[in-house]
Amino acid sequence: MLLARKIDTRWLMMFGLALFCLSMWSFSYITSAWSGGELLLPQVLRGLPQVFAVAPVVTLGLGSLPPERLSTPAACST
């Protein structure tokens, strides 16, 4: 993640989780009358923040491992 080189990963994770919470709040207005077009924006708003929330967690979790031990945990996290 290119932003992780310039911005602290904790801030990226906080930004992602805040946007994810906002997107879940936008789903609270869903009724049975909604169509696919109306669900598109909330779905995008829910999927995009997951990159900001999950990628820093994986980077922080696996970043302390030496390269020879990295293959097994990386396979388990995907």
- Residue 68's contacts (CB-CB under 8 Å, 6 or more residues apart) are none
pTM of the model: 0.65
Q: Domain ranges for the chain, please list them.
A: 7-65
Fill in the DSSP letter of residue 47. H
pLDDT at 75: 58
- Sign of the C-alpha dihedral computed for residues 70, 72, 75 and 76 taken in this order: negative
The amino acid at residue 3 is L
How does pLDDT run across 8-35, given as a tens digit for each residue?
878 888 888 898 888 888 888 888 888 8
